[in-house]
Amino acid sequence: MIALLETQDVDFKIRFEELLKRGAMDILSVEGRVKELLESIKQKGKNAVVEQVSRFDNWEPKDFLDLKISQTQMQEAYEKLDTKLKKALQKAYERIYAFHSKQLPKTWLDFEENGSILGQKVSAVDRAGLYIPGGKAAYPSSLLMNAIPAIVAGVKEIVVCTPTPNNEINPLLLAAMHLCGIKEAYKIGGASAIGVMAYGCEELQKVDVISGPGNIYVATAKKLVFGEVNIDMIAGPSEIGIIATPKAKVEYLAWDLLSQAEHDEMASSILITPSQSLAKEVALKIDEFLQQLPRKEITTNSINQRGAVIVTKDLDEAIFLMNQIAPEHLELIVENPLEILPKIKHAGAIFIGENTPEPIGDYIAGPNHTLPTGGSAKFFSPLCVDHFMKKSSIIAFSQQAIQELGEDCGILAHTEGLDAHQNSVLVRLNQK
């Protein structure tokens, strides 16, 4: 059964601290192996990638070109889709595109009275690399969530890498690639994919930014290549936090907690409520529903090892604890949720009301489902258009502007002991 905690318990503080450590990934334990894989790709290029795919994915590509996914494969998969599935995929694309279009930053210029011009130029990166997980499950939705912000940003070249154990690839993922207009995709997974996108090889030009979730090897590789390329974030296992009051429907809460637990054994599902009776009912209902799930073993391990239901003295204490947790997904199933929204300080995505289950955000609501995990919502934001763009400052001084500000600038430069800086400015003063 899922762990039941009460804030009045003698050992609550200790047990709650363990929950806060849920996002800790022992990167040190795999860092050495990941470094070896990345260094091999640096030194041997495409040959290293082929060797690594043969080693980890249980099939033997003949050469690097054998790893490429053709646009024909993508198109055929899309055309074979069931009509209803194709319609759902298209609807998801349209909603995600519409939401991210509202995020698009703009270039701007400010013309000052003294003739100077200050501003900001916004432009897309040239080339983006998307990592789409595979293995235990395939995630076409992750392709949409990572590709569409890049498309909206105006990225001209998008590369997709995804693992294909036994050389098998999910047809819906192929269909999603076609829908997104992907022209370059490879059957490469894990740290190998991150390495080849970051460093490039003969057949695959390096990218400027890498986005997409993955396991500890992917997360470690992203951390190690940061600086060589930009990355979205270092994301860990999926998680959900729910704040619920006594009137919340038990069935809703149980299924919502299970919706994250079925991702993998390391996923976290946490309910916080001031109602002891609700807490116990939800725990029992989770055990009942678990028996119905095809991924029962994975889900059970997640619930038993990483799940918790916490009973608080009141709603304010529930909010306080949830802000400490800073969950990836946060559901507010309470009366008047908009009234407590200002008190929520840390969450990747906030789902308001009983008719907004977290999975609606995974697929079709519109906002991105690539979110900060493990408490990193305290300082990271969801994947967005900005991750695929960069900003350049614009500065243009008139003769009047340099006359007005040059002396002050020179004083500041001289104070820092940078005389060439000072002279670079002063030489322009009193010049006609």
Q: Which residues belong to the active site?
A: 328-329
**CA–CA dist 225, 220 (Å, integer):** 9
Query: Environment class of residue 373 by beta-carbon count within 10 Å: exposed (0-12), middle (13-18) or buried (19+)?
Result: buried
Q: Is 259 annotated as a binding residue?
A: no
Distance of CA 192 to the CA centre of its chain: 19
Q: Is 421 annotated as a binding residue?
A: yes
Residue 260 annotated as binding? yes
What is the sign, positive or negative, of the torsion defined by CA atoms of 226, 229, 232, 237? negative
Q: Which residues pair with 270 in a beta bridge?
A: 241, 308
- DSSP code of residue 229: B
Q: Indicate if the alpha-carbon torsion angle 210, 214, 215, 216 is positive or negative.
A: positive
CA distances from 431 to 130, 239, 402, 425, 427 (A): 52, 63, 10, 11, 8
Instruction: Identify whether the C-beta of residue 168 lies closer than 8 Å to the C-beta of residue 192.
Output: no
Q: Is the dihedral of CA 297, 52, 172, 177 positive or negative?
A: positive
Tokens of 273: 């409520």
Give the DSSP per-residue string, 156-212: SEEEEE---GGG---HHHHHHHHHTT--EEE---HHHHHHHHHH--SSS---SEEE-
CB-CB contact of 328 with 349 (8 Å)? yes
CB 340 within 8 Å of CB 333: no
CA–CA distance, 303 with 266 (Å, rounded to integer): 9
416 annotated among ligand-binding-site residues: yes
Q: Which residue from 364, 268, 357, 249 is spatially nearest to 310, judged by alpha carbons?
A: 268
Is 178 annotated to bind ligand?
Answer: no
Q: Which residues are annotated as a binding site for Zn(2+)?
A: 260, 263, 362, 421
Q: Which residues are annotated as a binding site?
A: 238, 260, 263, 329, 362, 416, 421
Q: Which residues are annotated as a binding site for substrate?
A: 238, 260, 263, 329, 362, 416, 421
